[in-house]
C-alpha cells in the first residue's frame, strides 16, 4: 500500500524578491504519514479540490443580492465542471455588471483562476494586478498575490532566480526554493544542499528543503538525501531524509535503508527506515520487508516490518505472514502477525484467523485472533465466532467471543448475545453476555434486559441485569430500576437497584430517592 505525498505547486520569477515579504500567505505541504514530519501548513493556496470547496463555501455564505449571486453560482458550477472558458465568461460578466459590487474582488480572483487554468497567463496576471491595486484591503489579496507568483513564472521572458531572496520571511524562502527546484532542478537542489549546511537556518526550513529535494526524484537529489542520512546530527532531519529517499524509487537506496533498519542504535531511525522500505514500490523492497519481518535481530524491527507487510498488496503477502506465524513461537510476534492478517480483506487471511481462533494451542493467541475477527464486523466473521462459541467448552475463550460479538454492528451477533443471556447453561457466561448487552445494545438492549429480568430466576444473573441497566443511561432503564426498587419481591434486588440509582444524577431518580426517605 504505497503512500503518496502531495505538495502544492508554486512558481517564482526574478521580480518576487522585491515584494515577497508582503505578498506571501504560505505554502501547504501535506504528508500522508502521521507524525513523521511537520511541515508548513499555513497556505490558503490549496490544491484544486480545496480551492473548489472554498468557492462553494463562499457562494453559500455570501450576502450579495440574488441577481449577483446567480451569476456567481453559475460561474462556480462551471469551475466545478472544469469548464474554464465558460467560468471565465461568467466571472467577467459579474465584474462588468457589478464593478462596485460587494463580491467584485472575489469575482476577479476566480476570473484569474479560470484564466490561469486556460494558460492565459498574461490575462490572469492583469486581472490579479487589478484586484490587488483596486482592493488593497480585500480578503482575497493574499490569495491573489500567491497566485500571481505562480502565474508570473509562466509569462514570457521570465528568469529563474539563482539564489533564494535574502531578508524575507521563512515561508517565502520555502516558496522560492520550491520554484528554483521546479524551474532548474539541478541548481535548486544545489542551493537547497547549501541551505542545509547553514547553521542559522531553522529546523523547519531545513525540513522543508529536504522535502522539496526529495520530491525532485533525480540522482542528484537522492545523493543529497543519502548524505543527510549518513552525516546529519539532527535525528529529525535524518528521519525526514529517510522518508523521502524511500519515496524516490531508487533501488540503490534500499541497501542504505536496510543498514539503518538493522544497525542504527536509534529506535526512531529504525522505524523510519522500515517505513521507507515499505513505501518503495519495487519487488526487491517487498522481499527486503519480508526478510526483516522474518529474521531481523531486533524484535522491534521485526514487529514494525510485519505491520507494514500487512499493509502491502500483493498475492504473496498472506502466505508470507502465515509462514511467519507458523514458524515463530514468540507470542508478541504472533500477535503482530494476527493484527496484520486482520487488516487484509482476503479469503486466505480470513481463513487463517479463523483457524487460529478455533484451534490455536495458546489461549492468549486464540483470544487475540478472536478479538480481531470481531473487529472485522462482517457476516463471515460473525458466523465463525458463533461456531467457535458453540463448539468450545473453555469459559475463557467463550468470554472473549462474547466480548468480540458485542463489538460487532451485526444483528446476528447481537441475537446470539441475547440467546446466550437467556438460555446459556453457565450463569457466569450469561452474566457476561448481559453486561455487554448493557454496554452496547442501545434501545434494543434495554428492551431485552427488561424482558429478561422479568422472567429470570437466577439471582446472579438478575444482579448483573440491574447493573447493566444502571450503566445504560437510557430513561427506560432508570425507570425499570425504580420499579425494581419499589416492587421487587427480593429485598436484595431492591437494595441493589437503589444503590445503582444512587449513582445517577437524573432529576426523576433524585426525586424518587427523596420520596423513599420520607
| Whether the Cβ atoms of residue 91 and residue 99 lie closer than 8 Å to each other | no
**Does 145 reside within a domain?**
yes
For residue range 158-202, what is the model confidence (pLDDT) as tens digits?
544 444 545 456 777 787 778 777 767 888 888 888 889 888 888
Work out the average pLDDT over 318-346.
94
Look at 21-30, 167-176, 430-439 and tell me which has the smallest mean pLDDT: 21-30
Work out the average pLDDT over 13-37.
29
CA angle in degrees (0–180, nearest 5) for 249-252-255: 115
CA angle in degrees (0–180, nearest 5) for 324-326-329: 85
Which positions ≥6 away from 301 have C-beta within 8 Å?
A: 261, 262, 270, 274, 292
**Does 444 reside within a domain?**
no
* Helix, strand, or coil (residue 228): helix
**Does 295 reside within a domain?**
no
**Does 26 reside within a domain?**
yes
For residue range 100-148, what is the model confidence (pLDDT) as tens digits?
888 899 999 999 999 999 989 889 989 998 998 899 888 888 778 777 7
- Tell me how far apart the alpha carbons of residues 277 and 273 are, in angstroms, rounded to a whole number: 6
Bridge partners for 6 per DSSP: 30
Helices (H), 264-362: 267-279, 283-295, 299-311, 317-327, 331-342, 347-359
Work out the average pLDDT over 414-426.
93
What's the pLDDT score for residue 149?
Answer: 64
- Tell me how far apart the alpha carbons of residues 6 and 280 are, in angstroms, rounded to a whole number: 16
For residue range 358-404, what is the model confidence (pLDDT) as tens digits?
998 899 999 999 999 999 888 999 999 999 999 999 999 999 999 99
pTM score, whole prediction: 0.65
Work out the average pLDDT over 500-512.
91
**Does 157 reside within a domain?**
no
Work out the pLDDT band at 312, boundaries 50, 70, 90.
confident
Q: What CATH number does residue 147 fall under? A: 1.25.40.10
**Does 238 reside within a domain?**
no
The parent domain of residue 50 ranges over 6-152
Nearest to 23 by CA among 148, 162, 116: 148
**Does 210 reside within a domain?**
no
Q: How many domains does the chain have?
A: 1
**Does 91 reside within a domain?**
yes
* Helix, strand, or coil (residue 25): coil
Q: How confident is the prediction for the chain on average, in pLDDT?
A: 83
- Tell me how far apart the alpha carbons of residues 28 and 43 are, in angstroms, rounded to a whole number: 5
Q: Is it the case that residue 44 has pLDDT exceeding 60?
A: no
- DSSP codes of every residue in 51-93: HHHHHHHHHHH----HHHHHHHHHHHHHHHTT-HHHHHHHHHH
Q: Is it the case that residue 13 has pLDDT exceeding 70?
A: no
For the chain, what percent of residues have pLDDT higher than 90? Answer: 53
- Angular region, 82: left φ>0, alpha ψ -120 to 50, beta rest: left
Place of cell 455588471: 97
Q: What is the largest CA-CA distance in the chain?
A: 96
- Tell me how far apart the alpha carbons of residues 181 and 252 are, in angstroms, rounded to a whole number: 23
Amino acid at each position: 500500500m504505497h503512500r503518496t505525498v502531495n505538495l502544492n505547486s508554486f512558481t517564482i520569477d526574478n521580480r518576487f524578491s522585491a515584494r515577497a515579504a508582503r505578498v506571501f500567505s504560505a505554502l501547504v505541504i501535506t504528508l500522508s504519514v502521521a507524525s513523521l514530519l511537520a511541515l508548513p501548513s499555513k497556505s490558503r493556496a490549496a490544491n484544486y479540490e480545496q480551492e473548489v470547496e472554498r468557492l462553494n463555501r463562499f457562494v453559500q455564505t455570501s450576502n450579495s443580492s440574488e441577481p449577483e449571486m446567480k451569476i456567481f453560482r453559475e460561474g462556480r458550477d462551471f469551475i466545478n465542471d472544469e469548464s474554464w472558458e465558460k467560468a471565465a465568461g461568467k466571472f467577467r460578466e459579474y465584474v462588468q455588471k457589478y464593478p462596485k459590487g460587494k463580491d467584485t474582488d472575489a469575482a476577479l480572483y476566480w476570473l484569474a483562476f479560470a484564466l490561469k487554468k486556460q494558460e492565459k497567463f498574461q490575462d490572469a496576471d492583469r486581472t490579479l494586478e487589478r484586484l490587488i491595486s483596486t482592493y488593497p484591503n480585500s480578503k482575497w489579496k493574499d490569495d491573489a498575490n500567491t497566485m500571481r507568483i505562480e502565474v508570473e513564472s509562466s509569462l514570457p521572458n521570465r528568469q529563474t532566480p539563482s539564489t533564494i531572496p535574502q531578508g524575507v520571511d521563512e515561508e517565502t524562502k520555502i516558496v522560492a526554493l520550491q520554484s528554483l527546484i521546479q524551474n532548474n532542478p539541478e541548481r535548486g537542489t544545489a542551493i537547497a544542499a547549501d541551505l542545509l549546511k547553514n547553521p542559522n537556518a531553522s529546523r523547519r526550513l531545513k525540513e522543508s528543503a529536504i522535502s522539496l529535494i526529495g520530491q525532485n526524484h533525480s540522482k542528484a537529489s537522492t545523493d543529497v538525501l543519502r548524505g543527510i542520512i549518513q552525516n546529519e546530527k539532527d535525528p529529525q532531519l535524518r528521519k525526514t531524509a529517510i522518508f523521502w529517499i524511500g519515496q524516490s524509487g531508487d533501488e540503490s537506496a534500499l541497501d542504505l535503508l536496510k543498514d539503518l533498519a538493522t544497525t542504527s542504535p536509534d529506535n526512531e531511525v529504525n522505524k523510519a527506515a522500515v517505513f521507507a522500505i515499505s513505501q518503495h514500490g519495487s519487488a526487491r523492497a517487498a522481499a527486503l520487508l519480508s526478510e526483516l519481518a522474518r529474521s531481523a535481530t531486533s524484535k522491534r524491527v521485526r514487529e514494525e516490518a510485519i505491520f507494514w507487510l500487512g499493509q502491502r498488496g500483493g498475492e504473496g503477502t498472506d502466505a508470507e505472514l502465515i509462514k511467519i506465524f507458523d514458524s515463530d513461537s514468540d507470542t508478541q510476534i504472533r500477535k503482530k502477525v494476527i493484527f496484520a492478517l486482520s487488516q487484509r480483506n482476503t479469503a486466505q487471511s480470513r481463513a487463517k484467523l479463523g483457524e487460529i481462533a478455533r484451534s490455536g494451542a495458546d489461549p492468549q493467541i486464540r483470544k487475540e485472533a478472536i478479538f480481531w475477527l470481531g473487529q472485522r464486523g462482517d457476516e463471515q466473521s460473525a458466523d465463525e465466532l458463533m461456531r467457535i462459541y458453540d463448539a468450545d467448552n473453555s469459559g475463557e475463550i467463550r468470554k472473549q467471543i462474547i466480548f468480540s460479538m458485542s463489538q460487532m454492528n451485526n444483528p446476528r451477533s447481537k441475537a446470539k448475545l441475547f440467546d446466550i443471556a437467556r438460555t446459556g447453561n453457565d450463569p457466569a457466561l450469561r452474566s457476561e453476555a448481559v453486561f455487554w448487552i448493557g454496554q452496547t445494545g442501545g434501545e434494543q438492549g434495554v428492551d431485552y434486559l427488561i424482558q429478561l429480568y422479568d422472567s429470570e430466576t437466577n439471582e446472579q444473573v438478575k444482579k448483573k441485569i440491574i447493573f447493566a441497566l444502571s450503566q445504560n443511561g437510557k430513561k427506560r432503564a432508570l425507570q425499570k430500576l425504580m420499579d425494581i426498587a419499589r416492587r421487587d419481591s427480593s429485598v436484595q434486588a431492591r437494595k441493589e437497584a437503589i444503590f445503582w440509582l444512587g449513582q445517577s444524577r437524573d432529576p426523576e431518580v433524585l426525586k424518587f430517592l427523596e420520596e423513599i426517605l420520607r
